[in-house]
């Protein structure tokens, strides 16, 4: 009898854990979609939840992104994948691209927004070639271009 009860308890615990994990995953995806679907969505959500100034929260998020980007690029220099000169150029180019990305993200028509973002990606790919930056450093579809997003 004890073995049967033990098996039932283990099964119940496993099912409850799986259900909780599923709920957390679905909830996390929903949260990410609602808070990140608009620029500043995450900062606004955190500011609202903890009664903080949204701009202050955004500054912290931006600084964290910038620090992580710099750390990543420093590691690439250390590994010999890029030079320190290329790192400097990448950081400058990404800074230059921020207002362009923000302007493109503000376009309300989805087709026009996609067209503008695609043009920026094309610009970045050409810039990479012109500056001998290895493919994938800035990332697929300009992934690093999102750092510092407001």
| pLDDT one-digit tens code per residue, 103-143 | 999 999 999 999 999 999 999 999 999 999 998 887 544 44
Asked if residue 44 is part of any domain, the answer here is no
Residue found under tokens 């590994």: 79
Q: Which residues contact 144 (CB under 8 A, 6 or more apart)?
A: 69, 90, 94, 137, 138
Number of alpha carbons in the 13 Å side-chain half-sphere of residue 25: 6
Asked if residue 35 is part of any domain, the answer here is no
Number of alpha carbons in the 13 Å side-chain half-sphere of residue 28: 6
Judged against a pLDDT cut of 60, whether residue 16 lies above it is answered with: no
Residues 1-30 have a mean pLDDT of 53
Number of domains the chain is built from: 1
Residues 61-88 have a mean pLDDT of 94
Region of 82 (left: φ > 0; alpha: ψ -120 to 50; beta: rest) is beta
State both tokens at 26: 């679905």
pTM value is 0.62
Asked if residue 27 is part of any domain, the answer here is no
Q: Which domain holds residue 119?
A: 55-146
At residue 38, the pLDDT reads 57
The string of DSSP codes covering 89-141 is HHHHHHHHHHHHHHHHHT--SHHHHHHHHHHHHHHHHHHHHHTTPPTTSS-TT
Asked if residue 84 is part of any domain, the answer here is yes
- Residue 34 near residue 41 (C-beta atoms within 8 A): yes
Residues 64-75 have a mean pLDDT of 94
Asked if residue 33 is part of any domain, the answer here is no
Asked if residue 23 is part of any domain, the answer here is no
Asked if residue 117 is part of any domain, the answer here is yes
Asked if residue 3 is part of any domain, the answer here is no
DSSP letter (8 states) at residue 83: -
């Amino acid at each position: 009898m004890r073995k049967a009860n033990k098996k039932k308890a283990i099964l119940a615990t496993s099912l409850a854990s799986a259900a909780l994990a599923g709920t957390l995953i679905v909830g996390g995806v929903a949260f990410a979609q609602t808070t990140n679907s608009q620029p500043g969505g995450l900062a606004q959500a955190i500011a609202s939840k903890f009664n903080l100034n949204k701009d202050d929260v955004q500054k912290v998020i931006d600084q964290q992104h910038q620090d992580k980007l710099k750390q990543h690029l420093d590691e690439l220099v250390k590994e010999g994948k890029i030079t320190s000169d290329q790192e400097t150029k990448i950081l400058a180019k990404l800074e230059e691209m921020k207002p362009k990305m923000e302007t493109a993200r503000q376009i309300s028509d989805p087709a026009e927004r996609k067209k503008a973002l695609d043009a920026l990606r094309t610009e970045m790919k050409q810039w990479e070639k012109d500056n001998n930056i290895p493919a994938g450093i800035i990332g697929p579809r300009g992934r690093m271009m999102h750092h510092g997003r407001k």
